Amino acid sequence: MIPKSSMWLVCLFSLSVLWSIPTAVHGKKVQITQLNESNWEEMLQGEWMVEFFAPWCPACKQMEKTWEEYSGWAQDLNIHVAQVDVTVSPGLSGRFMVTALPTIFHVINGEFRQYRGSREKDAFISFIEDKQWEKVEAIPSWKSPSSTFMSIISFFFKLSQILRKMHNKMMEDYGIPAWGSYTIFAMVTIMIGALLGLLLVFVIDQIYPPSAGVKKSVQSKQKKGGKGGSKDSDVESDESDHKDDTGDLIDDRPSQSQSKQNKKKSRKAD
């Protein structure tokens, strides 16, 4: 018979072994680095395999065990195996233009390549061991997640998530209907746009103020316009005087014919 105290010791040892099983897979320790908005730049150094996933994604759940097993080979392959939860870090999903889940990227010294092979552990291992990533075209520099352009895209992704949370909060906590929330967002957007427009005009005026030469040219144009107006009035007055002279000539013609007729009449009378 085994003493009860020894049985308790055996049970405690068994429990400790079972507790350690989730952190080891087939003798390999799980080594998954969790990346987010604050530490994602760590992948710019060294070689990485990064999975983008979401807790609600069925395909991600199916690949979870495989990814854990693959992470156990990270030390042997001299790489880092990481994950990004897109629900926690929506800005990174925008930065990497993730449109499907799970999405896997291979990163080496700041060069990004999307992995499109099989989602099996052996395929992941051979992709690194055989350097199959060299056959995959790297993402262009302008579209690289570390570029300025993708940083702007990331900002708008984060902004959209913030606005979505505000929309849900107004509907759920304050009872505002959907159309009311959209109206508030529209009014705020118009006001912000108007303020930014005024600010932009002010900044441009401060950086590029109107020069003295422009003012002089405007004044000279105004003076020329005044002279032209006086010339036009002079021409019009000349035309009116000419019309009056011609009118006088027309009026004089009948008087000359009458004088001739009177002379003829006087001769006949003689």
* Residues recognised as catalytic: 57, 60
Would you say 81 and 128 are in contact if contact means Cβ atoms under 8 Å apart?
no
Q: Look-up: residue for tokens 């011609």?
A: 246
Q: Write the CA distances from 133 to 87, 97, 119, 120, 125, integer angstroms.
A: 28, 20, 15, 16, 11
Q: CA angle, corner 159, sides to 194 and 88, nearest 5?
A: 170
Token pair of 24 as six digits: 């080891």
Residues 6+ apart with CB under 8 A from 67: 32, 51, 81, 83
Could you give the CA distance from residue 234 to residue 184 in angstroms, rounded to a whole number?
Answer: 63
The DSSP annotation for 55-104 comes to: TT-HHHHHHHHHHHHHHTTHHHHT-EEEEEETTT-HHHHHHTT--SSSEE
Phi, psi of 2, deg, nearest 5: -90, 130
Minimal CA–CA distance to 103: which of 114, 90, 113? 114
Give the 3-state secondary structure percentages of the chain, helix then strand then coil, rounded to 5. 65, 10, 20
**Through-space distance between the first and last CA atoms of the chain, rounded to whole angstroms:** 186
